[in-house]
Chains A and B, each alone.
Chain A
Amino acid sequence: MDNAYDGLTDAGEEKHWAFGTGFTAALAGVGRDIPAVDRDSLTAYCLMLGDDALVYSQRLAEWCSRAPELEEDVALANIALDLLGQARLLLSRAAEVEDAGRDEDALAYLRDERQFRNVRLVELDCGPGPGGDFGTTIARLLVFSTWRLAVFQRLVGSADPVLAAVAAKGVKELAYHRDHAAQWVLRLAGGTEYSRERIVAGLDKVWAFTEELFATHPIEAELDGVAVDPAAARAEFDQVIDTVLSAAGLERPRTTQVAALAGQAGRDGIHTEAMGYLLAELQHIARSMPGAVW
């Protein structure tokens, strides 16, 4: 006879924990087939999406213990960890497709600046360093998560099963990141004169790097059906940003865009001055003590 109480306990739950059981592996049951496309291009595409998450995660981690409130400190760290998780899956996939004996750690710690393919938006110092503050940080979080969510919603249909699975997992995380940013934009804009000034200045600063987000890279164009053309995410991005800004009573920034260098930008390994300093902090332990564990 069926036990009427079975529904109260989750299958396989660890009964000695009252809370926090039932974890699953991020990509459990996902196939590892590699689609029939150019391997170098697919590796590069995985690095693009992975480096965006890795570098931005590093930037967000800089807020750890320095956010204006304890609660916000944990919120930003959670977002950073979500992105680090995405970065690990994507860099692991890049290593797997590349098949050259490198792993996710080698890709994260042992590549030089010109080999990183992240968009320049994520490497900017938006605070807590001298390059920004909490307002700038929230402005970038809004722009980045709105953009990445719109891209990932399309990546869910990728012919690469791993990219599709990473996107499906990431969509839920990014939806929360975007909501968190939007909530703060509303509160900073509607708070005091000073808080409004800070979010306006923050949006102005990060807006200069928005065009780059939607520029179709040759590799994205080549990997039709596997990669997402970011230009296709533009309309949704514009609509979400306009909704948030209008609810906050803010104007869309009119900042001059920071141009690509001879047609090349972050996706080609051309970065801003901030990138070298960021990588120095990210990589110096791994490079000065190779193979260190703790």
Chain B
Amino acid sequence: MTRSSWPLYEVFVRGKRGLNHVHVGSLHAPDDEMALRNARDLYTRRNEGVSIWVVKAEAITASSPDEKDPFFAPSGDKVYRHPTFYAIPEDVPHL
């Protein structure tokens, strides 16, 4: 089996209780189970994670740079969608 035949996986790691899984990188693996183990070896060596998701890169549908304007520009002038008119307590982390 050559490297080029191993599918590409995207790796998501959740660092702490209460946080979201965050995309940390990608890797190659022969199958899902080995992808999870490779992710453990490559991306949680320094105590980074309490949970890992892996997904085949081909299973991800991504937005296209060509659609940037219709997708994202319309929200640029709608500041009222942010809760900036509320006071946020000092001791609330990760908001």
Contact = CB atoms under 8 A, between A and B. Distances in A.
Interface of A: 3, 5, 7-10, 18-23, 69-72, 74-75, 78, 176, 179-180, 183, 187, 191-192, 195
Residue with the greatest number of chain A CB neighbours at <10 A, chosen from B3, B15, B16, B19: B16
A19 B37 contact: no
A69 B34 CA distance: 12
Interface in B29-67: 29-31, 33-34, 37-38, 40-42, 45-49
Contact of B37 (A8, A20, A180, A192): A180
A71 B1 contact: no
Contacts of B40: 176
Contacts of A69: 3, 6, 28
A9 to B, nearest CB: 6
Nearest to A20: B46
B83 interface: no
A191 B93 contact: no
B47 A7 contact: no
Given A19-B48, A20-B47, A78-B45, A5 B6 contact: no
Contact of B16 (A9, A71, A72): A9
B92 interface: yes
16 contacts: A3-B91, A5-B91, A5-B92, A8-B16, A9-B16, A19-B15, A21-B47, A69-B28, A70-B28, A71-B42, A74-B41, A75-B38, A78-B45, A176-B40, A187-B30, A187-B34
B47 A23 contact: yes
Nearest to B92: A5
B82 interface: no
Q: State the 7 A-B residue pairs at the shortest beta-carbon distance, nearest first.
A: A19-B48, A20-B46, A71-B38, A8-B18, A75-B41, A20-B48, A19-B15
